[in-house]
Structure 1
Amino acid sequence: MDFSEQELKTAYRTMRHMRNFDEIGRREFMAGTLPGFMHMYCGEEAIGAGVCAHLSDEDYIASTHRGHGHCIAKGCAIEDMALEIFCRQDGLCHGKGGSMHIADLKKGMLGANAIVGGSAPLAVGAALTAKTRGTDKVSIAFIGDGASNQGTVFEAMNLAVVLKLPAIFVYENNGYAEMTGVDYHCGSGDIAARAGAFGMPAHKVDGTDYFAVYEAMAEATQHARSGKGPVSIECIAPRWYGHFEGDPQSYRTKEEIADLEKNRDPILLFRDRVIAETGLTQSDFDAIDAESLEHVEKAMAAAKAAPQPEPADLLTDVYEVYD
């Protein structure tokens, strides 16, 4: 395994932060303290972590409505994220984005997006910026399996190929477009092959395997940064929860969900493999678990107690004023 112990600990901590942030957020939502909607990323952590491990603050990502994990993987401060999802004054977007529109441009995080397929045109625009300015930066569009059917995504992929833009289309195939199974809604049955038909390299990997995602992304970033144009990666990682928190999930069985948590947990799969192949131990990971839980719990508690925006704040951040 060609990773240092520190790299492995960092990757694990990132995924554990993702899981804790969403699980604690889910708890607060169910208690009625968290406004808006919650769309859980649990079960898909290895995708965001494996992709963003190759990115700097100057690279771009455009997210989906299931975007908390992407924010954490891109380096957004958990404290500021917690303030934002509680819609507090000092949040990343001053409390105006909430869960579904959270963004941090300082980290190259162009925003979670409630528009299905909305990430692809944004990411391609950022990729065009990088190419026009002559940088080696890349732009990532995270796309759900449902959004893979959107015309905006097809147009974005075609433009990226035509202009040879440094864009990487990461498909998070979690099995369902809202409540519709991918086997039904995807006519071709193969998201990666459909993306490849636009004329770019297209890969398909196990999205619960951090190392598979990491390796595919390493190849993709090298390709895109060297001026060879876009790449697509389909990552298959079933989601644990419903489309949104409160979704009764009548379209699948409890046995299916239980099996995912037992056999397809990307965090436990990572942990087991690393312990088997390196000098890291259970106690090393237990320590990270405890540290992460304390970190996220404190951030959420502080956010919940933070001041609400003032009424006058309603009129700020509405229009850009140019000199």
Structure 2
Amino acid sequence: MIVQHSFQTAGASNGQSGGTLYLVGTPIGNLEDMTFRAIRILKEVDLIAAEDTRQTRKLLAHFEINNRLVSYHEHNKEASGPELIRLLEAGQSIALVSDAGMPAISDPGADLAAAAAARQLAVVPVPGANAALSALIVSGLPTERFLFAGFPPRERKPLAAWLTKLQRQEETLICYESPHRVAKTLPVMLEVLGDRRIAMVRELTKRHEEIVRGTIAECIAWLEEHPPLGEYCIVIAGLSGEEAAAAQQEETMWWTALSLEEHVAHYETLSGDRKEAIKRTALDRGLQKRDVYNEVMKK
């Protein structure tokens, strides 16, 4: 097996050929969150690639940045991505920005960063504001371990399946939701996850910043009185250690509602082998195989 190693030294492209791809964080609402370093990098690079050039043009104008601006987003990445890589390989430096916050998180910037890294090009983070982490630290929920789950599916059935995969996570969960979807998403969360503690955070760093903390049911009631406005970051409590242990025990003891005969029949359906089914049933229940055999053969 051939393993491809990728090594990048500190200090941008030090020791590497080609240009540098800078992943530049931009404000998520408050322009005062723009860092000195981000402004400097955006002024120095050869090219700025933006998810929404109209939005980014306003930001650049505010900070008097006049560099060339090109579009790179989900709908043109197949064409724009290879061209940006070609420019990087030719030695140009490129800054990638998203509409707001850190690029390459749940957006096509991740593909460009991966493509650059795969070609041994330098990929350098220029940290800035981030909605998910900002929401987490004000949520009042545990921050030691967390899982960013991105955007929930839009339709109810895929949403329920998505939540089911997350329901036994002990980590605090973080996801994004639109104002048009949040009132539909929370009832499905309540159904699948139970009435957990959550925080609904919107308009982060802006004038109308709002943090609503409570159970899922309480937050549903809040939205009925306060129509949702702005993009939401939802932070959800994970399972406690005790709840996780109980869930694991419940999963392990899935067969408790079955009779001995039904238990054997379940495994026999799966394997087609009655002896194997008796063996696995005995193992589950901590019984001797002969005792299970004698019991089911009486029937």
* TM-score over 0.5 for the pair: no
TM-score w.r.t. structure 1 length? 0.28
Q: Which has the higher contact order (CA 8 A, sep 6+)?
A: 1
TM-score w.r.t. structure 2 length? 0.30
